[in-house]
């Protein structure tokens, strides 16, 4: 089969299209013919350096797989998706047997494996995946839309509903509103009856953030000498909330907006964080958190059942992912370059 294979760590040239052996599904696995695959920032991060324990070269990236079941490994029962069925894949699988799984800490399983990270992913014509983590594509959704769902929608669902415990009527701040995960956050927050304030850069993308459901959007001021004018975000949020601040904030941008996000919280507000787009170390004044009874929450991993809950919410509210662009598989390097350059709105998808 044809695959985009990573054989070293570095820049774009460590990915090359190669003809490699077809994967063979292990017991309990499916063989899926990939029809569409979503791009994620992790594809770029792991191009530069190994992040997840168990990552190895050569590697096939691609976390968000949608396709057709074309083969069965041994030991599958009638509950497994049939040959010919359309599936999307929860990329994370856990063992259910280790001490952490038995203790209920399934998201931190010692044997945790992720399609496209610690096992081969969807930047290929075929991929083997655990049958228990393949789900029917929602009715009326095509492969491209299905491939736009898994990572950003489960990340958003977990951050907002499980870690953040969003309640109806609350006001939520969502940073980086053009990212796939942010659009999912906006959709879930609106579906849950929240008021949404987004932050984004640029007038055109601000307008699109309103289109996807933001009640208010703060166009982050970019001063080319000093970078983000981060104080502007907190003061804008305070103004938009009548001096109160937001009940909940979800940030995946990291250090660039971390302190401004804390300062945007109401008294006893919560901030969930789940990303490192601008780095891994943040600075803020400790009293800004404890003096106001605010809570910082690391989003952490998700339980497999949350993926089922997420898909049910997508179906119930008829949510549709926003697609920035779709390219043929052979143009995957160009799609990765677009993601690296930034400035997109919604998901970048390749189609086989």
Neighbouring C-beta atoms of residue 266, cutoff 10 Å: 21
Q: Mention every residue, 6+ apart, whose C-beta is less than 8 A from residue 293.
A: 267, 268
Q: Tokens 């984004």 identify what position?
A: 200
Q: Which is nearer to Zn ion, 7 or 97 (CB)?
A: 97
Give min distance, CB of 274 to Zn ion, in A: 22
Report how far residue 30's alpha carbon sits from residue 91's, in angstroms, rounded to the nearest whole number.
Answer: 13
Q: Which is nearer to Zn ion, 101 or 134 (CB)?
A: 101
Give min distance, CB of 311 to Zn ion, in A: 23
Give min distance, CB of 96 to Zn ion, in A: 6
Of 102, 16, 52, 36, the residue nearest 325 (C-alpha): 36
The residue with its CB nearest to Zn ion is 109
Q: Which is nearer to Zn ion, 94 or 118 (CB)?
A: 94
Give min distance, CB of 287 to Zn ion, in A: 40
Q: Which is nearer to Zn ion, 33 or 111 (CB)?
A: 111
Q: Which residues pair with 325 in a beta bridge?
A: 348
C-beta separation of 197 from 246 below 8 A: yes
Give min distance, CB of 97 to Zn ion, in A: 6
Q: Which is nearer to Zn ion, 6 or 94 (CB)?
A: 94
The DSSP bridge pattern shows strands 64-72 and 171-174 to be unpaired
Neighbouring C-beta atoms of residue 225, cutoff 10 Å: 4
Neighbouring C-beta atoms of residue 241, cutoff 10 Å: 18
Q: Which is nearer to Zn ion, 58 or 107 (CB)?
A: 107
DSSP tally for the chain: helices H, then strands E: 11, 19
Of 35, 41, 26, 9, the residue nearest 119 (C-alpha): 26
Q: Which residues pair with 3 in a beta bridge?
A: 18, 124
Of 325, 320, 313, 321, the residue nearest 350 (C-alpha): 325
Q: Which is nearer to Zn ion, 86 or 119 (CB)?
A: 119
Give min distance, CB of 105 to Zn ion, in A: 9
Give min distance, CB of 117 to Zn ion, in A: 16
Q: Which is nearer to Zn ion, 117 or 264 (CB)?
A: 117
Give min distance, CB of 103 to Zn ion, in A: 10
Burial class from Cβ neighbours inside 10 Å (0-12, 13-18, 19+) for residue 186 reads: buried
Give min distance, CB of 278 to Zn ion, in A: 32
Q: Tokens 């203790």 identify what position?
A: 103
Report how far residue 252's alpha carbon sits from residue 164's, in angstroms, rounded to the nearest whole number.
Answer: 13
Element (H, E) at 37: strand 29-38
Q: Which is nearer to Zn ion, 111 or 235 (CB)?
A: 111
Chain residues in the site for Zn ion (CB under 5 A): 94-95, 98, 101, 109, 111
């Amino acid at each position: 089969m044809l695959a985009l294979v990573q054989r070293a760590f570095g820049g774009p040239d460590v990915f090359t299209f190669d003809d490699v052996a077809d994967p063979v599904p292990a017991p309990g696995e499916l063989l899926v013919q990939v029809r569409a695959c979503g791009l994620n920032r992790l594809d770029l991060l792991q191009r530069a350096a190994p992040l997840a324990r168990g990552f190895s070269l050569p590697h096939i990236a691609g976390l968000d797989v949608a396709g057709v079941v074309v083969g069965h490994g041994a030991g599958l029962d009638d509950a497994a998706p049939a040959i010919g069925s359309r599936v999307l894949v929860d990329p994370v699988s856990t063992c259910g047997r280790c001490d952490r799984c038995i203790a209920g800490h399934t998201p931190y399983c010692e044997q945790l494996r992720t399609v496209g990270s610690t096992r081969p992913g969807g930047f290929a014509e075929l991929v083997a995946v655990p049958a228990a983590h393949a789900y029917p594509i929602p009715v009326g959704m095509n492969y491209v839309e299905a491939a736009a769902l898994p990572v950003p929608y489960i990340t958003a669902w977990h951050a907002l509903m499980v870690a953040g415990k969003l309640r109806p009527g609350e006001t939520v701040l969502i940073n980086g509103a053009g990212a796939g995960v942010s659009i999912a956050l906006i959709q879930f927050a609106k579906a849950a009856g929240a008021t949404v304030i987004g932050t984004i850069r640029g007038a055109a993308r601000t307008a699109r953030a309103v289109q996807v459901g933001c009640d208010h959007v703060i166009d982050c001021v970019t001063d080319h000498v000093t970078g983000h004018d981060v104080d502007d975000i907190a003061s804008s949020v305070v103004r938009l909330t009548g001096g109160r601040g937001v009940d909940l904030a979800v940030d995946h941008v990291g250090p660039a907006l971390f302190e401004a996000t804390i300062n945007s919280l109401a008294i006893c507000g919560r901030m969930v964080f789940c990303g490192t787009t601008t780095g891994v170390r943040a600075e803020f004044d400790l009293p800004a958190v404890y003096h106001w009874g605010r809570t910082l929450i690391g989003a952490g991993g998700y339980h497999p059942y949350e993926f089922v809950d997420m898909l049910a919410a997508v179906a119930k509210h008829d949510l549709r992912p926003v697609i920035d662009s779709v390219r043929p598989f052979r143009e995957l390097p160009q799609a990765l370059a677009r993601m690296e350059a930034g400035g997109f709105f919604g998901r970048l998808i390749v189609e086989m």
